[in-house]
Amino acid sequence: MNTESPPTRIESLDQFRGYSVAAMFVVNFLGGLTITHQVLRHNNTHFSYADSIMPSFIFACGFSYRMSFLKQLIGDSESSPYGRFVKRSLGLILLSLMLYGFNTKIASWSEMSGQRFVRFFSELFKADLWEVLAIIGALQILLLPLIAKATWIRAVAFAGLGLAHVVLSWSFNYDFVYGHPNWMDGYFGAATKRAWDGGFFGLISWAQIMLSGTLAFDFLKYYRQMAAVRIVFTFGAILMLSGYGLSCLTTFYDLRGVSDRQSLQLKSSPVVPDFSLATERTWDKFLAEPPFVPPPTPEERVPNYWAMDKRVVTQSFVLFGTGFALALYGIFIIACDVLGFGLRVFEMFGKNPLASYIIHHFVTHSILSVVPKDSPIGWVLFGLAASFGITYLFVRFLESRKLYLRL
C-alpha cells in the first residue's frame, strides 16, 4: 500500500478528462443529424457510445473534486473550502443557465402573472435547469458533506443513493420524468412536462457516478500504481456486469407470447416486474440485449425502469456507465501514467475543460446552422472537422496566454 498522495497533476486524469470533453464535442455535433448511426446518438432505451460520455465526464469531475478539496482542506488558507466550493458550484449553475437559457419564452407582458411564474419555476427545477454544468454544480453541493469522508462511507452512500432512486422511481419518479400522471405533480407542479438527464431527482443517480470518481482517486492515493489499476479494472467489470444484470429485468416486460391479462399487468408498474413470467420461459429468454444494441420496440416490450435509460438515469444505466468509465480510466492510467503516452489535444482540453466546453457550445451552434439535418456524409464530416478545429484553435490560444477558466 502506498500512502503517498498523488501529484497535483495526474496525467491520466488530464488525458481522460480531455478525451471526455473531445468526445462530447463529437456526439453533440452529430447527435441531431439524420445520417448519424444510433451508437453515436443519445437515447432512452439502451446504452450507446454517446451515452457513455456524460458519465465519464462526471466521473472525472468527482476525481478532481476530491483531489482539489483535500488539497485545500490541508492548505494554509484561512477560509474554509466548503464555502469556496459552494460559491463555485452556484457559479456553474448560473453559467449553465446563461449558456442554455430558460428553455421557455414569455411572449407578452400580459403573461406576467403569479401563476405563470409558479409554472416557470416548477418547469425550471423539474427539467429545464438540468444541463451538464448545472448538474455538476448541484452535485458538488449535494456531496459536500461526503467529499472528505472515509472511502467506506462514500461507498455505502453510493449504494444508498441507488436504492433511494429505485424507491422514488417506484413511488412517482419514473412517471414524473416522463410527464405521466403521478402524485408528486400535485406538490411539484409542471404536470405533463418531460424532463431529461434525470430531471430534479436524477441528481441522486448522477451523484453516484461523481462518488465513483472520488473512490477512484482513493485507489490511486492509497495503493501502488499497478495495484490501483487492478482494483479499477475489477470494480469496473463488476459494475458493468451488475448493470447488465439489472437490465435483464426488462425482459419481464416483453409482450410477445403473453395474454391480454398479463399485458395489462406488465403495464401497471414500470419498476416492479411480474416475476410469475419466470415460470413460463426458459432462462435464455431473460437475457437482455447487450449494451450498444437497441432493444425491441414499445409494441414488443413495455418501457420500464430497468432499461439503461439516460432520461431517467436508471440504476442499470448508472452501474454500467460507472463501470465503463472505471475500466476506460484504467486504460488511461496504463497508457499515460505507466507508459507515458498521451495526446496533445486531450491534454489541452483536459487542463482547460470549462473554457473548452463553453467555446464548443457556441462554435457547434454556429457551424450546425449551415449543416442541415439531412446533409450527406461528406458535408457532415467537413462541418465536424471545422467545429472541432475552430474550438481547438480558440482553446490553444487561451493556453498560449496561460488563461485557464476555473470557477
With a pLDDT cut of 70, the percent of the chain lying above it is 95
Burial of 93 (0-12, 13-18, 19+ CB in 10 A): buried
Average pLDDT rounded to a whole number, residues 116-127: 90
Q: What is the pLDDT of residue 117?
A: 86
Residue 72 pLDDT class (50, 70, 90 cuts): confident
pLDDT category at 78 given cuts 50, 70, 90 is low
Instruction: Give the chain as a 3 state SS string.
Output: CCCCCCCCCCHHHHHHHHHHHHHHHHHHHHCCCCCCCHHHCCCCCCCCHHHHHHHHHHHHHHHHHHHHHHHHHCCCCCCCHHHHHHHHHHHHHHHHHHHHCCCCCCCCHHHCCHHHHHHHHHHHHHHHCCCHHHHHHHHHHHCCCCCCCCHHHHHHHHHHHHHHHHHHHHHHHHHHHHCCCCCCHHHHCCCCCCCCCCCCCCHHHHHHHHHHHHHHHHHHHHCCHHHHHHHHHHHHHHHHHHHHHHHHHHHHHECCCCCHHHHHHHCCCCCCCCHHHHHHCCHHHHCCCCCCCCCCCCCCECCCCCCCCCCCCCHHHHHHHHHHHHHHHHHHHHHHHHCCCCCHHHHHHHHCHHHHHHHHHHHHHHHHCCCCCCCCHHHHHHHHHHHHHHHHHHHHHHHHCCCCCCC
Average pLDDT over residues 174-190: 92
- Say if residue 209's pLDDT is above 90: yes
What local confidence, expressed as pLDDT, does residue 80 receive?
81
Share of the chain above pLDDT 90, in %: 75
The string of pLDDT tens digits covering residues 246-281 is 999 999 898 877 766 566 666 778 999 888 777 777
Going by pLDDT thresholds of 50, 70 and 90, the confidence category of residue 407 is low
Going from the C-alpha of 128 to that of each of 26, 195, 199, 209, 211, the distances in angstroms are: 23, 7, 8, 21, 24
Query: Mean pLDDT for the chain?
Result: 91
Number of residues in the chain: 407
Higher-confidence position of 169 and 113: 169
Mean pLDDT of 273-302: 86
Does the pLDDT at position 104 exceed 90?
A: no
The pLDDT value recorded for residue 76 is: 60
The three cell numbers of residue 287 are: 437475457
Which pLDDT value is given to residue 276? 77
Task: Give pLDDT, residue 336.
Answer: 96
Q: Read off the pLDDT band of 2 (50, 70, 90).
A: very low
pLDDT in tens, 350-385: 999 999 999 999 999 999 999 999 999 999 999 999
| Sequence-distant (≥ 6) Cβ neighbours of residue 145 within 8 angstroms | none
Highest mean pLDDT: which of 176-190, 267-281, 383-397?
Answer: 383-397
Residue 337: the pLDDT is 94
Higher pLDDT, 407 or 203: 203
Residue 292, pLDDT score: 95
| pLDDT for 210 | 98
Pick 299 or 338 by higher pLDDT.
Answer: 338
- Which is higher by pLDDT, 160 or 104? 160
The pLDDT of 296-308, averaged and rounded, is 92
Q: Please write the tens of the pLDDT for every residue from 4-39.
A: 444 557 999 999 999 999 999 999 999 999 999 999
